[in-house]
Structure 1
């Protein structure tokens, strides 16, 4: 008997029928799955989850779209304004074989300037001579005539050049100025091979440029900074109001207040010479040091400050800047010089930085900081006009091979502090989140993989100026001996650390030495109760008026009175969800208030702890932000902090 079933067997028919039913069920399920998938793909996407620069357990810093509709209503990229249309009659070139600068004269330009006549002309320079103090120059030297191909003597670091017709009276054809970073050979003791390779450090700074405004005004620069080796510190939060406290924290590890208590008063002559500034540590580690800023009136160490009594670095630009500002024609843009003679002011700074870097970076470690204020301080959109210039500076350093040797810090002190951007919903973040990019050269990334890993993690963790200070100290320590001294860390932040070590995930602003008023970690929500918000602002103004009395300024500064409240917000904390109609009845809470006073329509923003029972406030007046220009309101006093709040009786407007 056959063991297999015949096709006519009844059981065989049952099996075939069941198989057919199963196949139909499979097709139906497949059809349903395809239909469901099509429905999902055609349905509207869920609302995008909010992005964050930082989102940790204790800190939420929201990402800000640089191109919101509110910004685009008034954002307009600026066009670069040049200082002259004439070609250079005199220019310089550097001969690397003889390591000397050479002056060149363009005869064709000379003919154009003289309208192709046969008149003879002469060119001469006057040397910029140092003054008796570090921040000055005494005079220009006597006329030194030169011809094409003249080799500049190695002692000359700055010159003012004139070319004139030989006739009497002579006619000025062109006036210009040049600075030089003259090559210095390595000291004998540095020619020995070091066991550990030391990275150079170049700090390239732009005043008042937030990471938001960088993306908005310099997209090409931002794209360059996305390249390999670059790290954006997206949790970088400023620690003070204006340039000085933020830059001082990076370069010294101190605030002015604790420096006064433990070392010296930064408002007194000679203090900056005594301070343990970062360049002193680099100098002690055999680094060559350089420094330049582009506007002497708002220099970090000289704006309402005494400056230096002694030359602070090996290559120090300020005396040459004073000469340029006094001997060349100046074109203003806003309140600052835009053109120094024939050149945009920042060109002198970054040319000086480029020369300093190219002269030395390939044979010895260097530290330099090169800072520009004039084009970004008064106009938040002017950086758009400078984009190609700044990108060119970065590309020049790259093409010269400088980035192969150098840790580069491309950064700002703070964002825009007044004007229309500060009135936006995101204005609080625009002001408090300066850009901070750190570049690590290839050899460094290979040699120190753990530091690279830490920096990658730290990109999205809260950090401050004091961490940058500690990072600079860490770089210095890398080139030392294993048993060498450990350098002191930032005095004002015992819990701060080098960014080459992983920062705590649960870090708070207090742990980074960022006071409440500057902290961007905790969310606030608006409150609309008019009586409540008026009370808080009135209490803040009371503290401000008491401040004038305590400082002995009440005879010069008008008492302030509330005009109206612009906005009041209450701090909720990162894990709390409140709504305006469900605010808890708290005895004491932290508020952020923005208000206008009647005196000269001055605008202020304060972070205040307000007691709703006693109707009193706790606020540090010297951390209240002035959010419109105070330049013409406080001419009667010189106190750098009090100028933010004082409306002089002599400056009162009707």
Structure 2
């Protein structure tokens, strides 16, 4: 995206190179952004038994309490963050909400323009263009007063490695529109993704394996923040290479509901408290505070499967430990799907790659990361197995690294659909 990249260089901004994902797909990666909780904690606290998210304490409620208007828009109907395999909201969650429009569009005028049927159109417009129109129509509202907005595009860019080139000019024009309408003068904008590409030929490479866990995050901020809150912005810049997650973005957004927290005296006091906590520091740290260099994945709430604070040494796929780990991964999948009789038992077809995990911390147990292919269905999976004295355990989730299309048509459970091959 050279046009967008060059445009951002003209604005005060920070790009975060240590931004690490915390979950398998969109939902568990963005739940911490909205709530400060992980997926399990959120569902236990306010979703289980409720059949909707209306009672959840999401970040837009904090902004609403601080006097902000709120808006939320996605360019999808089927794959909505809170609607894919979930019940969504019973009541409108924000003041301005695009989903009712997308429901009508999807019901009456949808057609697809790609072989995978992942990019949808209405009339002559892709769904993303409807999202852009919503943002443009919000501009007068954005100029009226304080506004918290969450805009999310997933179609196209979610599934195709080269699709970002088609967004380059659109995103540059979007930023220029916000700038020319003086919105960026008083707005902090996060340009972000939730994870890297999860499927396809690039994902099957070593680099693709790493980049899946290191998505995009750029913060664009008004110039006057540097003058008014110098220590906060200095910390923001220093955190460009710190290990951070969406838990930290949640804490950062909460700070923005009360700018007094960014005063130099407050930053000094909060920084002292943060360092006094040491290894007991919070999982979510505002990016206006200095994120300690001692922070590791466990302290940041990053599962081992997604942690980039480790290196991988390739090992022979015929090594005994490689084969043991591969068999254990497949056996684990079969255990999970055993209660779904319509799902076929999977067999290990091939050990594609194997790696030993090298950590900075001294650890006695051997950990092996394997990539396997199974049959039926030619599913490709990736998992980390820890070897204990007399047993093996998984360290993190087992990930599917190739698309499964309609292979799992016979189940309606997003937790196991990627593992299920239906007859």
Counterpart-to-counterpart distance in 2, 1:417 and 1:534: 24
The corresponding residue for 1:465 is 246
Give the Cα separation in 2 of the matches to 1:445 and 1:344: 39
The answer to whether 1:341 aligns with 2:115 is no
Structure 1: how far apart are the matches of 2:312 and 2:408? 32
Q: Which runs of 4+ in 1 moved over 3 A?
A: 479-482
Residue 54 of structure 2 aligns to a residue whose secondary structure is helix
Question: C-alpha offsets along residues 498-544 of structure 1, whole Å, 9 cap, x if unaligned?
Answer: 00000001210111100100111111110116142111100221222
Q: Give the Cα separation in 2 of the matches to 1:296 and 1:640.
A: 16
Q: Render the CA deviation track for 1:328-350: whole Å, top value 9, x for unaligned.
A: 35343232343211222211112
Aligned to 1:74: none
Q: 1:329 to 1:300 in 2, by over 3 A?
A: closer
Give TM-score scaled by structure 1 length: 0.59
User: Is the alpha carbon distance of 1:591 and 1:620 closer, same or farther for their aligned partners in structure 2, counting shifts above 3 Å?
Assistant: closer
Pairwise CA RMSD of aligned residues? 2.1
- Alignment map for 1:373-412 (pairs within 5 Å): 373-412=154-193
1:443 to 224, 227, 230: 224
Q: Partner residue of 2:272? A: none
Residue aligned with 1:453, SS: helix
- Paired residues for 1:257-296 under 5 Å: 257-265=40-48, 269-270=51-52, 272-296=53-77
1:335 touches 1:378 (CA, 8 Å); kept in 2? no
Contact 1:229 1:442 in 2 (8 A): yes
Q: 230, 252, 259: which one pairs with 2:13?
A: 230
1:263 alignment partner, SS class: helix
After superposition, the Cα gap between the structure-2 partners of 1:322 and 1:539, relative to the gap in structure 1 and judged at 3 Å, is: same
Q: Which structure would you say has the larger Rg?
A: 1
| Counterparts of 1:436 and 1:227, CA distance in 2 | 17
Q: Where does the alignment leave 5 or more consecutive residues of structure 1 unmatched?
A: 1-217, 483-492, 577-585
Identify which of 342, 350, 353 aligns with 2:135.
353
Counterpart CA distance in 2 for 1:628 and 1:480 is 45
Offset of residue 264 of structure 1: 2.9
**How far apart, CA to CA, are the structure 1 residues paired with 2:198 and 2:175?**
27
Match in the other structure for 1:522: 310
- TM-score, length-normalised on structure 2? 0.91
Change (3 A) 1:476 1:387: same
Cα deviation per residue 1:106-139 (whole Å; 9 max; x = unaligned)? xxxxxxxxxxxxxxxxxxxxxxxxxxxxxxxxxx
Structure 2 counterpart of 1:513, from 301, 308, 313: 301
Output the CA distance in 2 between the equivalents of 1:261 and 1:325: 31
- Counting helix residues as a fraction of each chain, which structure ranks higher? 2
Name the SS of the counterpart of 1:517 in structure 2.
Answer: helix
Partner in structure 2 of residue 541 of structure 1: 330
Match among 368, 379, 383 for residue 591 of structure 1: 368
Counterpart position of 1:646: 420
Secondary structure of the corresponding residue to residue 23 of structure 2:
coil
Q: 2: CA distance between counterparts of 1:351 and 1:410?
A: 18
- In 2, the alpha carbon distance for the partners of 1:257 and 1:519 equals 19
Tell me if the contact between 2:110 and 2:120 (Cα under 8 Å) persists in the aligned partners: no
Counterpart Cα distance in 2 of 1:412 and 1:495: 20
